[in-house]
């Protein structure tokens, strides 16, 4: 059968284009297995964990020294399930998974196999080879059931390899140190130390490198002759930052949806732009499941802080931040600090957050008013119209808005999105602690740089001018807009004193740029 770029479930080499999932960590994992160790593998959803597990298990079984098996405990992953029922579901999932790997299991007996530990002990005693057990979706378990399973595995650890699996891997979104956070709302902690303090090491999966994306696309070229050029590959890598699902989804969108599997046609950079936009608009499962997290208060706090460029001021932000890092929604960038993990996430998150605003803007904003006969944007006219709109509507709109703490920026983004309406693009640059949100509006060979600042102290304007000049110099543009929002309530300062528009020149180091300052 013809191979294809996979976006659903784990990858199988005969069916899908894939690179070796063990490429970076095989030696380390094999050493742990040889040393009869228990370890953790954690990474964001759809980043290749299950693909790695199945590849590893089949490879170990083919070598013949161990019996390896992958199974998921997700069947017991819901609240208010009794421990005995959870154990039964997990054991039955284990038995069902064994058929995939051709392993002989002992029959489940409800009266004698009342715990997973009990079943694993009896199975190991009757098995002729040491067992390597790879447990997927471990952090889908809740509360007492999670603690119970971890403690059972810890209790059996001392009897390995004769009477318990020789090596066990726990696989999920989070490292074991964070499992104790998943408790009932009224509880602060699971208490005591980690219920799985026997783990030898924790691994995480990295995104694809540019070279690995190139190698993945080369498999398609080998099969079909259709080339992903260097420019196309670099652009896909830019938008995805090598996130495995996004890379495959972009390639699948181009090959299957845009080109309709016609491999005689060339792949162009314009198709990459189209594929990116279609993924964002369609919000496939991966993106939708990530966006659903915005309803969680701890995710909302971090996302708003990134859009506002705020510092991490609260103790709880550290745990909230770690959660968002584990989700793969944000990353720690050496240059930018804490920011969205890739340009696609950076674009889709604000667009989802201000979606209600965009819908409400549809009858109120006529995009044609802001375009010239040559189909160029008149940015001055657009921003002056936004000032009028903001003065009239911002108080009532922001008061009802779910994400009101970042409402100023999101309202302007919604206004801009309504105007360009798929005919151009808005590139966003946001990060924790940078004190601003930068927008680059690209339309019909025009580039407009907008820096968004909120009046928080007396230094806001000087900081904003310096930051904008640095950004303009970085992208080699002569002119930009500094958009300043008043943070005080409208009763403290009149609209006549808030609405301002003037041009200036500003020099940072030896670089001088023309700046239009827009206040409201």
pLDDT digits (tens, 9 = 90+) for 435-462: 888 999 999 999 999 999 988 888 889 9
Amino acid 184: pLDDT: 45
pTM of the model: 0.88
Average pLDDT, the chain: 90
> What is the DSSP track for 85-104?
HHHHHHHHHHHHHHHHHT--
pLDDT of 161 > 90? The answer is: yes
Q: Which of 188-202, 210-224, 319-333, 377-391 has the lowest mean pLDDT?
A: 188-202
Would you state the pLDDT for residue 489? 64
On the question of pLDDT at 196 being above 90, the answer is no
Query: Does the pLDDT value for residue 189 go beyond 80?
Result: no
> How many CA atoms lie less than 13 Å away from 247 in the CB half-sphere?
26
Architecture of domain 26-204: 3-Layer(aba) Sandwich (3.40)
CA quadruple 272, 274, 277, 279: dihedral, nearest 10: -70
What is the distance of C-alpha 267 from the center of its chain? Answer: 26
By percentage, how much of the chain surpasses pLDDT 90? 70
| Residue 63 token pair | 């070598």
Nearest to 440 by CA among 347, 310, 326, 334: 347
In 219-346 the beta strands, taken as DSSP E runs, fall at: 330-333, 337-340
- CA pair distance 48, 367, nearest whole angstrom: 42
User: Which pLDDT score, from 0 to 100, does residue 181 have?
Assistant: 46
| pLDDT computed for residue 464 by the predictor | 93
Longest Cα separation, the chain: 84
Which residue did the predictor score with more confidence, 131 or 314? 131
DSSP state of 370: G
Terminal CA-CA length for the chain = 60
- Mean pLDDT check: name the lowest of 179-188, 235-244, 509-518: 179-188
**pLDDT tens digits for 37-49?**
999 999 998 999 9
**CB under 8 Å to 37, separation ≥6 — which residues?**
167, 200, 201
Can you tell me the distance from the alpha carbon of 350 to that of 116, in angstroms, rounded to the nearest whole number?
44
Q: Is 48 left (phi over 0), alpha (psi -120 to 50) or beta?
A: left
**Averaged over 68-97, what is the pLDDT?**
95
**Given pLDDT bands bounded at 50, 70 and 90, which one contains residue 234?**
very high
Which pLDDT score, from 0 to 100, does residue 187 have?
43
The mean pLDDT value for 105-128 works out to 93
Report how far apart, in Å, the C-alpha atoms of 475 and of each of 54, 440, 447, 449 are: 45, 10, 10, 9
| Predicted confidence band of residue 186 (pLDDT cuts 50, 70, 90) | very low
For residue 430, give every residue at least 6 positions away whose Cβ sits within 8 Å of its Cβ, in sequence order, or none. 306, 307, 309, 339, 340, 346, 437, 438
- What is residue 491's predicted lDDT score, i.e. its pLDDT? 66
Q: Is the peptide bond before 161 cis (omega within 30 degrees of 0)?
A: yes
Please choose, from the candidates 455, 136, 437, 173, the residue with its C-alpha nearest in 3D space to the C-alpha of residue 290: 173
Residue 466 predicted with pLDDT over 70: yes
Task: Please count the other Cβ atoms lying within 10 Å of the Cβ belonging to residue 296.
Answer: 14
What would the mean pLDDT of 222-239 be, rounded to a whole number?
98
C-beta separation of 453 from 484 below 8 A: yes
- DSSP class of 371: B
Are 49 and 21 spatial neighbours (Cβ–Cβ below 8 Å)?
Answer: no
Domain ranges in the chain are: 26-204, 210-282, 354-519
Residue 194 has pLDDT above 80, yes or no: no
pLDDT for 469 beyond 70: yes
User: Could you tell me if 415 and 425 are in contact, meaning their C-beta atoms sit under 8 angstroms apart?
Assistant: no
Cβ neighbour number for residue 11 with a 10 Å cutoff: 22
In 3D space, the residue among 170, 94, 105 whose CA is nearest the CA of residue 139 turns out to be 170
How far is CA 489 from each of CA 7, 83, 471, 485, rounded to the nearest angstrom?
Answer: 47, 53, 30, 11
- On the question of pLDDT at 220 being above 70, the answer is yes
Antiparallel, parallel or unpaired: β 500-508 and 511-519: antiparallel
Residue 176 pLDDT greater than 90, yes or no: no
- Give the per-residue pLDDT at 183: 44
Take residue 116 and report the two structure tokens written for it.
């997973």
pLDDT at 24: 87
What is the C-alpha separation between 149 and 138, in angstroms, rounded?
9
Q: What is the mean pLDDT of residues 193-209?
A: 81
Return the axis-axis angle of helices 83-101 and 49-63, rounded to nearest 10°.
Answer: 60
For residue 355, pLDDT over 50 is answered with: yes
């Amino acid at each position: 059968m013809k191979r294809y770029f996979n976006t659903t479930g784990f990858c199988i080499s005969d069916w899908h284009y894939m690179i070796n999932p063990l490429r970076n960590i095989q030696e380390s994992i094999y050493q742990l297995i040889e040393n009869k160790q228990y370890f953790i593998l954690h990474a964001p959803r759809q980043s290749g964990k299950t693909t790695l597990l199945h590849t590893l298990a089949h490879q170990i079984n083919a070598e013949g020294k161990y019996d390896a098996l992958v199974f998921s405990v997700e069947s017991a992953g819901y609240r208010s399930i009794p421990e005995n029922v959870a154990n039964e579901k997990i054991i039955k999932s284990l038995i069902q998974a064994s058929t995939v790997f051709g392993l002989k299991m002992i029959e489940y007996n409800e009266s004698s196999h009342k715990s997973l530990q009990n079943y694993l002990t009896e199975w190991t005693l009757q098995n002729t080879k040491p067992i390597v057990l790879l447990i997927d979706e471990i952090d889908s378990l809740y509360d007492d059931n999670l603690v119970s399973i971890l403690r059972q595995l810890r209790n059996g650890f001392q009897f390995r390899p004769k009477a318990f699996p020789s090596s066990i891997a726990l696989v999920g979104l989070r490292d074991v140190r964070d499992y104790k956070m998943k408790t009932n709302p009224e509880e602060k902690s699971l208490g005591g130390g980690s219920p799985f303090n026997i783990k030898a090491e924790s691994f995480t999966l990295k995104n694809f490198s540019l070279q690995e994306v190139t190698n993945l696309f080369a498999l398609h070229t080998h099969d079909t002759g259709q080339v992903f050029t260097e420019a196309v590959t670099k652009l896909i890598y830019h938008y995805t930052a090598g996130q495995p699902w996004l890379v495959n989804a972009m390639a699948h969108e181009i090959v299957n949806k845009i080109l309709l599997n016609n491999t005689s046609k060339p792949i162009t950079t314009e198709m990459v732009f189209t594929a990116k936009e279609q993924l964002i608009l369609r919000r496939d499962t991966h993106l939708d499941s990530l966006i659903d997290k915005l309803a969680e208060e701890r995710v909302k706090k971090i996302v708003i802080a990134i859009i506002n460029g705020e510092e991490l001021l609260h103790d709880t932000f550290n745990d909230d931040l770690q959660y968002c890092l584990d989700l793969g929604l944000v990353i720690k960038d050496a240059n930018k600090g804490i920011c969205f993990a890739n340009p696609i996430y950076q674009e889709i998150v604000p667009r989802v957050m201000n979606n209600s605003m965009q819908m409400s803007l549809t009858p109120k904003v006529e995009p044609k008013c802001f375009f010239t006969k040559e189909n160029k944007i008149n940015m001055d006219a657009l921003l002056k119209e936004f000032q009028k709109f903001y003065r009239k509507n911002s108080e009532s709109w922001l008061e009802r808005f779910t994400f009101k703490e970042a409402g100023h920026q999101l309202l302007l983004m919604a206004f801009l999105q309504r105007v360009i309406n798929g005919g151009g693009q808005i590139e966003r640059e946001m990060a924790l602690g940078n004190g601003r949100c930068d927008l680059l509006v690209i339309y019909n060979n025009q580039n407009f740089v907008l820096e968004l600042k909120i009046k928080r102290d007396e230094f806001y304007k000087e900081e904003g001018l310096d930051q904008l000049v640095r950004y303009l110099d970085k992208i080699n543009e002569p002119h930009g807009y500094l958009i300043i929002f008043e943070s005080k309530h409208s009763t403290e300062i009149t609209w006549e004193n808030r609405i301002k528009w003037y041009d200036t020149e500003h020099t940072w180091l030896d670089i001088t740029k023309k700046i239009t300052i827009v206040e409201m």
